[in-house]
Structures are given as C-alpha cells and as structure tokens.
Structure 1
Amino acid sequence: MKFVYYMTYPMILIYTLGETLRRGVDYFSINATTMLEDYSAAVFFILATWAWVKANENAEKLMLLAWAYAAGGMFVPFFAHLEAFLRGVTFREDHIHTDVGSIVLKGSVWVISVICLFIVMRSNKSQYPSS
C-alpha cells in the first residue's frame, strides 16, 4: 500500500500540471469536460493523500475512490487514442492519431491506475506512511 500512497503524488502532478501545460487553460473553451475530469482526479488524489497522512479512518476508501476514478477516467482516452493509431485515422482534431507520446502517457497512467486500484482492493489492512 505504500507504493499506492507514493504514486498519488506523481498522479496529482500529471493530472494538474501535465494537463495544464499540455493543453493550456484556454482548452476549457474547447473541451471543458476533459479538463474537469482531469482536475477532479487530482482533487480525489489530494483528498486521499491528505486522509492517508492524517491516518483518517476513511483513507483507504478515498484511495480506492481516487484510483477507481483514474482507472475509469483513462480507459476511453487511452483505448480510443490507441484504436485511432492502429486504424491510422484521427477521430478528433485535438487528438492526432500519430501522437504516440500521448498514447504512451495515457497507457502508462491507465496501467498504473489499474495496478494501484488492484492493490487497494486486495489490501486487508492499513499501511500508513509512518508505519
């Protein structure tokens, strides 16, 4: 579980700074849903991390929520972009199918999210960072 806890920090950065630097704040006028999904994931990770540090009784539930949200939220973006790449067709103008870097990033985030979700679901006891 410590791995899961420590992975929340890079995820917070990916979902906030990564999204903002990659698309810019102006992207809200193009596709606010995508931005809100990513920022919501960051908020869930921040809440889960805060609860974990405070050894809150709901820490594991919040951690489960954050990882489940991230895994579910990255499923369609990753697999749709991968499908577009495999078909050689750009489905959306703002997701060019030849952008392999984005596919790798989305896939990595999705795989890490699924692994961490599995770890949280299999955990039978709390392992706070101080333990």
Structure 2
Amino acid sequence: MTRYVDEDLHGAEFRECDLTGARLIGVVMQDAVIDGLITNLVVNGVDVTEYVEAELDRRHPVRVLIRSEDLADLREASRQLHSAWAATIERIRRTPGIEHRSVHDEWSAVQTMRHLDLSRN
C-alpha cells in the first residue's frame, strides 16, 4: 500500500483508478467530485451509500427499472434509454461540429457512440 502523509494533492485528478479500500484520514476536501462505481462509502463516520443511491434513483428513475427482474420493467427501461439516446443524437445533429468536441478530457459524442455502438441510430 502506498501511503501519502502531508502531501499537497491540490487539483489532483485520479482517472480510471482503483481506490478500493482507500482511506482518507484528516484530509481537507473542498469542491471535490467523486464519480464512479462506489459502494460502502463512509464520510466522517456516516455510510452515505444508500443516500447516494436513493438520490440517483430519484434523479434517474430508469435505474430502478434496469435492476428489476420483471421483463415488462426491463422492456420499459430499454424503451426509455433508447428514447433518451435518440433525443441526444437529435440535439447533436442540430449543432454541427459539436459531435467531435470533448469537455474536461471526457469522450466526445462520436467517441461515446462508437464505444456504445450507437452510431447506427
């Protein structure tokens, strides 16, 4: 295990890193962004995992359908996801050139569609 003590990691970005079991003790985190597959997250002694999952489900109800074992729910989830992608692709088509634009080192729309094999839509 690598241990960092009294290090200034101000502005550091960890991309595609496995931080399983990482502990941040006595740290200062302001304006932090955490985005990824996160389970069992404890912040200042409070497990916030269920809160975060519930909030994500509230914002994106299709997540609940995706986890369902009911075939009708899964079909509805598929319909909603395809509809959302179709709307996104239509917005991209209305703004020529934006499909190749990358923001904050994220994939462009073209790269995302190629990765997901959605370019045929």
TM-score bracket, shorter-length normalisation:
0.3 to 0.5
The two structures have a TM-score, normalised by structure 1, of 0.31
When Rg is computed on C-alpha atoms for both structures, the one with the higher figure is: 2
User: Structure 1 or 2: larger helix share?
Assistant: 1
Q: Which has the higher contact order (CA 8 A, sep 6+)?
A: 1
